[in-house]
């Protein structure tokens, strides 16, 4: 796989992970607002952790796509 294709692939996967992080964040907030009998502390801890993990992975891939080797 040549460098241009790899950089494009990293950028697209990075964008995808950032979109997933936004969806998890929104879902966590909406689930916290609704009264569905879920432990809110656990919900916000897991949702926040997953949001941070996906956002960091997305940003890392975006940074890797910009580096020239």
Report the C-alpha gap between 55 and 16 in whole angstroms. 10
Report the Cα–Cα distance between both ends of the chain, in Å, rounded: 14
pLDDT for the residue 2: 85
User: Does residue 69 register a pLDDT over 70?
Assistant: no
In the block, residue with structure tokens 């990293």: 10
**Greater model confidence, 21 or 7:** 21
pTM, to two decimals: 0.86
Q: What is the DSSP letter of 36?
A: S
For residue 36, report the phi and psi dihedrals to the nearest 5 degrees: -115, 10
Contact status, residue 40 vs residue 63, Cβ threshold 8 Å: no
pLDDT tens digits, 15-50: 999 999 999 999 999 999 997 888 899 999 999 999
């Amino acid at each position: 796989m040549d460098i241009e294709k790899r950089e494009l692939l990293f950028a697209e996967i990075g964008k995808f992970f950032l979109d997933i992080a936004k969806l998890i964040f929104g879902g966590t907030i909406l689930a916290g607002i609704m009264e569905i009998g879920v432990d809110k502390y656990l919900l916000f801890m897991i949702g926040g952790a997953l949001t941070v993990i996906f956002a960091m992975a997305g940003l890392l891939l975006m940074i890797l796509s910009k580096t020239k080797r």
